[in-house]
Structure 1
Amino acid sequence: MKSTLLLTAALAVFSIQAQAQTTATAAAPRVAADQIPTKKGPLTVQPITHGSVVFTWNGKTIYVDPYGGAEAYAGLAAPDVILITDIHGDHLDPKTLAGLPVGKALMVVPKAVAEKLPAEYKPQVRILSNGQRLDTLGMTVSAIPMYNLPEAADAPHTKGRGNGYVLGLGGKNVYLSGDTEDIPEMRALKGIDVAFVCMNLPYTMDVNQAAQGVLAFKPSIVYPYHYRGQNGLSDVAAFKKTVNAANKKIDVRLRNWYPTAK
C-alpha cells in the first residue's frame, strides 16, 4: 500500500513538472516590458515581434498588429482594443487572431483591412480612415497616413490604404508608424512622447531616412521596430548613433523584437 502511494505521488509530481515544462515551451521568449508614467498610471510597453506590441494602460490592454502565432501572447491579458495598420500578413494575421481571446475586443482598422477580416469579426470592427479620430475607453485613437515615397500606384504601401496611429493615453501621445517612409505627415507630428518607427528595406525606409524623420518630429522616446527586411535585420545601433549625434535628448530605446531569430 505504501509503495503504491509513493508511486502515485511520484507520478503526480512528474505530471505537474511535465505540464509546467510544456507551458514554458509553448510561450515564446519575450524581452522585458518597459513602463512609462502617464497621468492615469503607468503605460506598460511589451515588445512582441516585428511590428507587434502590446500596451497595458489604465486597466486596458491594447494589441497592435497581432502576428507571429498566438503563443507569442501567452500569459498576457486578453485585448480590449486591437489596432491593425495594413493588409499585409505581418500586420493582418487571421491565423494569429484565431488563436487569441479576441471576442470582446474592439478592432480599429482601415477600410482595406476591414474588407479582408473574417466575417466573424465584423461586429467588432470600427473603421478609421486617415485623419479620423476615435475616443474610446478613456483613450483617443487618431489614424495617420502611412505610405511609400515616391507615391505610385504599384508601391508596396499606397497613400490612404493603411493607418499609422497616434494614441492619447493619460496625457501621453504614442505614435505607431506602421509601414511608411519619412513622409511629410510624420515629419509634421507635434508633441509625440513615445514613437515606434519602422526601418526595413525594400518595404519602408532605411536607417538614415528613419533617423532624419525622427529628428524632424522629435519624440521624447523612440523605439525602432519593424526592422527585419529582405537582407536581415537593419542596423538599429546605427540609427541610435545618428539620432543622438544630432539630438541627445531623444531617448532611443533598443529592444530585441526578434528574440527567436537565429
Structure 2
Amino acid sequence: MKLTKFTHACVRLEKDGRVLVLDPGNFSETDQALAGADAVLITHEHADHVDADAVAAALQGSASLQLFAPEGVAATLRGKADGAADRIHTVASGEEFEAAGFAIRSFGGQHALIHPQIPVVANLGYLVDSNVYHPGDSFAIPDGIDVKTLLVPIHAPWNKVGEVVDFVIGVRAPKAFPIHDALLNPNGLRLIEGHVTRIGARYGTEYRHLSSGDSVEV
C-alpha cells in the first residue's frame, strides 16, 4: 500500500483504489488528506488528531465516507455532521473490523499521561492490514503481533526521548517512520531521529524520515 505523511499525526493510506486516512488534525493539511477518502480512523479527541469541523464537513460532503473513533469523538462528530450519524462508528480496544477494504485491529485504550492534573482521555492504536501501526498518543505495543511498519510519535508533551526509543525497540518493526513531530524545530528533530535511527538499527528497525507530502510503499 502507499503511505503518505502529512504534517504531525496524519497519514493517508491507499490500496486498490481505496483511501484510508488516520488522524486528520488541525496541524495537518486536512483538506488534502481527506480528498477522495473512503474511511477515516481517529485515535482520540485532541484537536491535533481530529479537526472536528473539517472532518464533519467531509462527512457531509460525501455520502459514502465512513468514520471510526472512540466513543467521545464519535458522539461529537454525530452532533456536528447532520445526516452522517449512521456512518460514524464507535470503536473500543480489542476490536477487529474493516474500513474501506482495509483490515483494522484496535489496541490500547487510553492516552499517555501528560500530567496528573490533566484528564486522561480514551486513545486507540490502529493496526492496518497487519502492517501499519499508528499508536495515537500512546506507546501501547500490540501484543502477539509482528508489526511491519511502525509510525513513531517522535515528540509530545507526554513523552521523552528514552521512551520513544524504547517504543521502537519494543515493537521491533522492520520499518519505522515519524509522526507527531510538528512541535519540534529542525535541531530537535535531527537530535531525536538520530537516536531512533542509531539505536533502532541495533534491534532490526530501519527508521526513515518523512516530511509532509512524502510517500512510500509499505
TM-score normalised to structure 2 length: 0.80
User: Where in structure 2 are there 5+ consecutive unaligned residues?
Assistant: none
One-letter amino acid of the structure 2 residue matched with residue 130 of structure 1:
S
Shift of 1:48: 1.6
- Tell me how large the CA RMSD over aligned residues is: 3.0
Identity %: 20
- 1:226 maps to 180
Residue 152 (structure 2) pairs with residue 197 (structure 1): yes
- 2:199 maps to 246
Structure 2: distance between partners of 1:252 and 1:225: 12
- 1:147 maps to 111
SS of the counterpart of 1:49? Answer: coil
TM-score normalised to structure 1 length: 0.68
Shift of 1:70: 9.1
- 2:73 maps to 113
Relative distance call for 1:76 and 1:82 in structure 2 (3 A) is closer
- 1:51 maps to 9
Which of 119, 124, 134 lines up with 2:87 in the alignment?
A: 124
Q: What per-residue deviation string (whole Å, max 9, x for no partner) do you get for residues 146-170 of structure 1?
A: 4224895x44544xx12111111xx
Equivalence map 1:161-172=2 (5 Å): 161-168=122-129, 172=130
Answer whether contact 1:133 1:141 (CA < 8 A) is retained.
yes
SS of the counterpart of 1:50? Answer: coil
Larger RCO, structure (CA 8 Å, separation 6 or more): 2
Structure 2: distance between partners of 1:217 and 1:225: 16
SS of the counterpart of 1:214? Answer: helix
One-letter amino acid of the structure 2 residue matched with residue 83 of structure 1:
L
- 2:97 maps to 134
- 1:34 maps to none
Structure 2: distance between partners of 1:110 and 1:186: 18
Which of 64, 80, 99 lines up with 1:104 in the alignment?
A: 64
Structure 2: distance between partners of 1:235 and 1:189: 33
Shift of 1:71: 6.2
* Structure 1 moving runs of 4+ over 6 Å: none
Structure 2: distance between partners of 1:258 and 1:102: 24
Structure 1: distance between partners of 2:23 and 2:63: 16
